[in-house]
Chain A
Amino acid sequence: MGLAFTIRRACFGACVGVLAGGGLVPPAHAEDVTITVWSHEADEPAKVVFRNKAAHDLEQAHPGLHVKLTWYEKDGLYTALRTALAAGRGPDVFYLEPDQLHQYVSAHYIMPLDDLVNWNAIYPWAREVWQENGKTWGIPQEVNLNVMFYNKDWMKKLGVSVPADGQFSQSAFLDLVKKARAAGMAPISQGVGDRPYPGAYILGEALLHKLGKDDYAKLWTGKLSFQDPRVVAALTWVKQLVDAGAYPKDFSTMKLGESFYYFYSKPGAALFPMGSFYSGRAFAPPDKGGQPADFPLGIMLFPAMDGAACNRCETSGIGSSFVINAATKHPKEAAEFLDAMSTPQMTDMWIDTVYEPAAMKTTTQGFSGPHADYLNALMASQKGVEYFTGMPLDIMQNGQCKDAFGQVLNSAFPAGLLTVDRAVTMMNAACFGH
């Protein structure tokens, strides 16, 4: 019986092999394999659909391979990862952002992907963000640009025209804030209640313009003092905005999601500095928190600073990315899932449904879908822009410095709780020379 069974099994295997070789059935795994994936962005429906489709397509293409996706919000995900990975467990694939790269590589929690995934599908400059020690550790998906959104109708009401090059001078921008406040409008929507970075969007871009890319990087890595006159000048200008009532009074407790609604619905604001991931929430249906269908969304660059080193510099960063657990027993299958999210078809789907720039290469020219105008406007606004890759929190590696950034530059300073001198002292104490 044993021999007969072996022969029958061999015949069956041979038949399947022939069929598979002839392309009649998808390649099957020798045994059922389930790869587990932990992902952030549970509250962004388009990304949920995108990743579920990639998982579904992979399962269809490889019978016997299963993908189990678990959805988190970022804080919960990172906490779960730290405890699970320290215990030698954790998912095969997980979401990570570049600010975590160094510590995860140092901890040997993630594996290099250079020989595992199809890098022809990814833009080289996006891949570079995930490189350390000569190896690539994560596959990028989402490209974030820091963008200054505005309400076109409100600008008209204020009698203000956006300059042709899309960039106000620092004094014109300050006047705009004052005009909006005088007209009873909220000048800027921003909330830092659950994030350690949005409050520093304007300051960050002002510093980048003022310092240029090299010195800007030095500032966040403890190699340039916050007492540098250019830094003080940028802080002083932001302080003028704050004193003019630029930010909402409840900005310290307003959550990121709430700041979207504040901008385009109630009470409304003239300006909204935000990452280009704006589309993930704003283009959801209005009854699910998205912007009204006819919302007059405009895009401009962050203000030009006086005596700046690079006023056309803008911050870009890699957001959503995925890595493979170094302890996974299924690296090949895990890499197949990463590749499944990076195909040209999936990239087109990303652009047409998520409406964000992608780190994956696309085959199509131009944009389609109901928000194509938005993407065209976004791309048009970026003409002549020089990118600095990496958000401040991506660059800082010192925990104390990160904490101070979140408390001081992200929250207390734009909330008007600190003088420029005090902010400089606190940031230097936490960051400079460390």
Chain B
Amino acid sequence: MPPALDTSHPARPRPGGRQPTSDGWRPSLATLAVLLAPAIVMYLGFTAWPVVRTFYNSVHLVGPGGDTEFVGLRNFSDVLTADPNFWTAVRNTAIFTVVGTTIDVFGGLLLALCLFTRVPFVRSLRVIWFLPVLMSYVVVGVIWVWIYDYDWGVVNLVLRAIGLGSLETAWLSNPSTALWAVMGTHLWKWLGFNMIVFLAALHALPSEVLGAAELDNCGWLAKLVYIIIPMLRPTLVNLTVLSFVGKMMIFDLVWIMTQGGPLWATETVSTYVYKRAFDWNTFDLGYPSAIAVLWFLIIIAFVVAMSLLLRQRDRLEF
């Protein structure tokens, strides 16, 4: 017979400031402070302070050695009214984000459904599709630059082999294909991540509901549209927001593959900020900070709008 729990005496403070908790002890404030301090200091130093400083810089002309001159909103007005490169970068980033997010989320769902329905070689496919997620952007970027190579890249070799040699092109050197080529690489890397998240969500669906639908003679497509997707809605929204934010800030892959070229065809806002900060023969960090702040506010606005629009108003019960 297990020992009975004595609940007749409420928990009382113990000497030394340690408080009892469900498992016996609660750390004192001092202990908490000591344990949390490293994380808080790191957060303040490497996240909060840079953000605050970027906002500060955005309304200043930042000279060498950190000398600043207040310029109000001049940097912002210059960005918005007198900088065609910025608008090129915005256009590219918008295309990358909207198209990329759509394919990323629905592609991930499609792959997850394939695995969920136990297509042949399901174990191998799960590993193969998820593997790119584990690779670094540098490796992925270099591999795909080779794949897109005009002379000996796999894409053109395949096109030639199947008699579509007329379609071959220098994928990353052609302004009309470069952005799509980079997007293809990005999707190749991230589809597996969305797939795994969707797969976990699919396995968490109540089997009773799916079983009941089958008993009602509900077809596969109807089950997907009217039952599975509505029940996956929270996952769908979260992945959409995550994917959207990630693509709005895309930098590393573009930098590795094209550095924003050719002819600014793959210039994104992040690569442009970097160039303005480090490649433009000026030490002024005010102007690039203004672009960064502006973009930050735009991302926040979109995330809030998406969360409001896509939130589930009626709670599903099952």
Interface residues of A, Cβ cutoff 8 Å to B: 78-79, 82, 85-88, 100, 102-103, 106-109, 193-194, 248-253, 267, 396-400, 402-403, 407-408, 411-412, 415, 417-418
27 contacts between A and B (CB under 8 A): A85-B64, A86-B64, A86-B65, A86-B285, A87-B66, A100-B281, A103-B281, A103-B282, A107-B64, A108-B65, A250-B153, A250-B170, A252-B262, A253-B145, A253-B170, A253-B172, A253-B258, A267-B151, A397-B281, A399-B276, A399-B282, A402-B280, A407-B262, A407-B264, A411-B261, A412-B263, A415-B170
Q: Scoring B residues 275 to 291 as 1 if CB is less than 8 Å from chain A, else 0, what string do you get? A: 11111111101000000
- A89→B228 CA distance, assembly (Å): 57
Chain B residues positioned under 8 Å from A79 (CB to CB): 278
Please judge, given known A-B contacts A252-B262, A253-B173, A407-B262, whether A109 and B64 are in contact too, CB under 8 Å.
Answer: yes
- A419→B259 CA distance, assembly (Å): 23
- In the complex formed, the residue of A with least CB distance to B274 is A79
Chain B residues positioned under 8 Å from A400 (CB to CB): 280
- Judge whether B112 is part of the interface by a CB distance below 8 angstroms: no
Q: Does B263 contact A417, Cβ atoms closer than 8 Å?
A: yes
In the assembled complex, the CB of B106 is this many whole angstroms from the nearest CB of chain A, namely 30
Q: Does B262 contact A412, Cβ atoms closer than 8 Å?
A: yes
Q: Does A415 contact B262, Cβ atoms closer than 8 Å?
A: yes
Q: Does A398 contact B281, Cβ atoms closer than 8 Å?
A: yes
- Judge whether B175 is part of the interface by a CB distance below 8 angstroms: yes
Q: Does B278 contact A411, Cβ atoms closer than 8 Å?
A: no
- A253→B259 CA distance, assembly (Å): 9
- A88→B63 CA distance, assembly (Å): 13
Q: Does A253 contact B281, Cβ atoms closer than 8 Å?
A: no
Please judge, given known A-B contacts A253-B257, A407-B263, whether A88 and B65 are in contact too, CB under 8 Å.
Answer: yes
Q: Does B278 contact A82, Cβ atoms closer than 8 Å?
A: yes
Q: Does B151 contact A250, Cβ atoms closer than 8 Å?
A: yes
Please judge, given known A-B contacts A86-B65, A267-B151, A407-B263, whether A249 and B173 are in contact too, CB under 8 Å.
Answer: yes
Contact of A403 among B149, B279, B285 (CB under 8 A): B279
Most B C-beta atoms less than 10 A away, residue of A79, A193, A418: A193
- A49→B174 CA distance, assembly (Å): 41
- Judge whether B129 is part of the interface by a CB distance below 8 angstroms: no
Interface majority SS (helix, strand, loop, mixed), chain A: loop
Other than the given A102-B281, A249-B150, A253-B148, 19 more pairs (CB < 8 A) read: A82-B277, A82-B278, A85-B64, A87-B66, A103-B282, A107-B65, A108-B64, A194-B259, A249-B170, A250-B150, A252-B258, A396-B281, A399-B282, A403-B85, A407-B264, A411-B263, A412-B175, A417-B263, A418-B263
Please judge, given known A-B contacts A82-B278, A267-B151, A417-B175, whether A252 and B64 are in contact too, CB under 8 Å.
Answer: no
Contact of B172 among A88, A252, A399 (CB under 8 A): A252
- In the complex formed, the residue of B with least CB distance to A192 is B261
- A400→B82 CA distance, assembly (Å): 12
Q: Does B170 contact A411, Cβ atoms closer than 8 Å?
A: no
Q: Does B283 contact A86, Cβ atoms closer than 8 Å?
A: yes
Chain B residues positioned under 8 Å from A417 (CB to CB): 173-175, 262-263
Chain A residues positioned under 8 Å from B85 (CB to CB): 403
Chain B residues positioned under 8 Å from A106 (CB to CB): 64
Q: Does A82 contact B150, Cβ atoms closer than 8 Å?
A: no
Which B residues from 76 to 92 make CB contacts under 8 A with A?
85
Chain A residues positioned under 8 Å from B261 (CB to CB): 252, 407, 411-412
Which B residues from 183 to 240 make CB contacts under 8 A with A?
none
**8 pairs of A and B residues whose beta carbons are closest in the complex:** A399-B280, A107-B64, A252-B173, A249-B150, A250-B150, A412-B263, A399-B281, A249-B170
- A108→B64 CA distance, assembly (Å): 8
Chain A residues positioned under 8 Å from B173 (CB to CB): 249-253, 415, 417
